[in-house]
Amino acid sequence: MNSQTILTGLFGHPVGHSLSPLMHNRAFAELGVNFHYAAFDIDPGQVREAVAAIRALGLRGVNVTIPYKVAVMDYLDEVEEEAKAIGAVNTIVNEGGKLIGYNTDGRGFVRSLIEETGIDVKRQSAILVGAGGAARGVAVSLLRAGLPSLAIANRTEEKAERLAEQLQAMNPQARIAALPMKEIADALTDATLLVQTTSIGMHPNIDASPVAAEALHERLLVSDLIYNPLETKLLRDAKEKGARIHHGLGMFIYQGALSFEYWTGQPAPVEAMRKAVSDALY
Ligand code: ATR
């Protein structure tokens, strides 16, 4: 770093375990650009001041993580359409003092899914497990990428129903419905894509899965947003049944890659970013 360094970073609370600084600083080094990425642990009462500081200090932009992805939206000059549809911002770009909010989570997922499995989203019939923030981001972006059919199953069924209604209103061309959890097994018979967005199966509860192994089959692509562990119980079961699998690391890498591209205007060195994170995690 020197007096010319362009600053970026992460706003969240806590941020101490985030791998984003490592991933982005590795990417800046790979491209030889004079940028730096720092982690800022923001106090819950200081969100407005933190956003104003992007302008005051001339940061190029920041990522935003839990618990501020919704709260920062009130203090931005503009929020891009997809971030509005998701209802959350994970990337802020400072365009000469004008702060613009984006959301790269859902698009990061879709790009990872396409790059890593080669599937055609427009030809899938999908079941989504979960109806929280992550599910919403993934669903919005899959539908914008042309997914024609989506069923949403969630422990709290009213949340799945509400999300399905909202998504249907935004995507009249698609077939969208809520699905009771107990009907997942039956519905899977005709599905081609299963996306798991809850924390079930995350370290340390690595033997938990929200879907019975018997319901999985070889015509499915099973995607789990979790990346610790890399292969969840759901993905291990899916593999055993002959299904193709897609794990959550790519979503993390590509959401970062898209943020990186907004800030630097250059294609992100995705494989160097993936290696930096893999080396730290596994
Ligand atoms: P995120 O941003 O990671 O999506 P979130 O918005 O808090 O986090 O959503 C968590 C999701 O995981 C929800 O769909 C939640 O189900 P509920 O709506 O019923 O709470 C789901 N989830 C978390 N723990 C779960 C568990 N033990 N069993 C079933 N679902 C769970």
Would you say the CB of residue 162 lies under 6 angstroms from ligand 1? no
Q: Which of 182, 184, 199, 203 to mutate to test the pocket of ligand 1 (most atoms within 8 A of CB)?
A: 199
Predicted local distance difference test score (pLDDT) of residue 104: 98
Q: How confident is the model at residue 275 (pLDDT cuts 50, 70, 90)?
A: very high
Would you say the CB of residue 219 lies under 6 angstroms from ligand 1? no
What ipTM does the predicted assembly reach?
A: 0.98
Q: Answer yes or no: is 139 a known binding residue.
A: no
Q: How confident is the model at residue 231 (pLDDT cuts 50, 70, 90)?
A: very high
Question: What pLDDT digit, counting tens, does each position of 207-223 carry?
Answer: 999 999 999 999 999 99
Would you say the CB of residue 194 lies under 6 angstroms from ligand 1? no
Report pTM. Answer: 0.97
Three-state secondary structure of the chain: CCCCCEEEEEEECCCCCCCHHHHHHHHHHHHCCCEEEEEEECCHHHHHHHHHHHHHHCCCEEEECCCCCCHHHHHCCEECHHHHHHCCCCEEEEECCEEEEECCHHHHHHHHHHHHHCCCHHHCEEEEECCCHHHHHHHHHHHHCCCCEEEEECCCHHHHHHHHHHHHHHCCCCEEEECCHHHHHHHHCCCCEEEECCCCCCCCCCCCCCCCHHHCCCCCEEEECCCCCCCCHHHHHHHHCCCEEECCHHHHHHHHHHHHHHHHCCCCCHHHHHHHHHHHHC
As annotated, the residues of the chain forming the CATH 3.40.50.10860 domain(s) are 6-103+251-281
As annotated, the residues of the chain forming the CATH 3.40.50.720 domain(s) are 106-247
Choices 3.70.10.10, 3.40.50.10860, 3.40.50.150, 3.40.50.2300: CATH for 6-103+251-281: 3.40.50.10860
